[in-house]
Homo-oligomer: A and B are copies of this chain.
Amino acid sequence: MARRNQHSKEALRELALDAVQRIAERDGPHIVSARKVAHEIGYAPGMLYHLFENIDDLILQANARTVMMLTDTLRQAIQRKKPINAVLAMASQYLALAQQNSRRWQLLFEHAMRNDVPVPSWYQHQTDTLFELVEQQLALLAPEKSSKDVTLAARSIWSAVHGVCLLAVTGKLDVGGPVQAPKIVESLVRHYLLGWTLEK
């Protein structure tokens, strides 16, 4: 068989990205493979290589969707809140999303580049947006701080929250039960910001 042309190139791409996320959620993130994805959408594995550079590219683009979903959610979490509460809401939303779709997040967190080329810039760019959302709130919270300080603080908070989400999603935080992850996030953000605003 050839030239079915049932789907446009773009529709096919969407189909494949849907399949990646569906397989990850259904069978676990480490089950995702070019062959499984192709089978899931009823094509031969080779076809995928006309749509994506390689398996890293495929998974990365699927992960980009997850990041976009996160960005959208965080934007909504901010709405009309005071800076401290906005940052708290963003952090706890990050954790909530990661816990709700944990396998999708595992795909995001645990995917290590096989073709050891560095993370592409368009992806980096997308994650930078997340930093910026935090920076905006911090700038509102402490207008007297330099933009350098704000950048550093945003990166600190973000890395920290990311660390909690990672450990939570991969089950490495469950010593007192999985319930306390939200408490850790809140403790982290609240105390850091308290210390940060009181400084000097």
Asked if A194 is at the interface (CB within 8 A of a chain B CB), the reply is yes
A159 touches B171 (CB 8 A): no
Most buried by B among A151, A164, A171: A164
Range class of the A interface residue count: 35 or more
In the complex, what residues of B have CB within 8 A of residue A106's CB?
Answer: 112
Give A171 to B123 CA distance when docked, in angstroms.
13
Choose the segment among A10-18, A35-43, A74-82, A185-193 that binds chain B (4+ C-beta atoms closer than 8 Å): A185-193
* A184 touching B155 in the complex, CB below 8 Å, given contacts A110-B110, A190-B195: yes
Interface string of A118-132 (1 = CB under 8 A from B): 110000100110010
Choose the segment among A1-9, A44-52, A173-181 that binds chain B (4+ C-beta atoms closer than 8 Å): A173-181
Provide 5 A-B residue pairs closer than 8 Å at the C-beta atoms, listed in order of the A residue. Answer: A159-B188, A163-B164, A192-B195, A194-B195, A195-B198
Give the 8 A-B CB pairs with smallest separation, nearest first: A163-B163, A160-B160, A194-B195, A191-B195, A195-B195, A110-B112, A159-B164, A159-B163
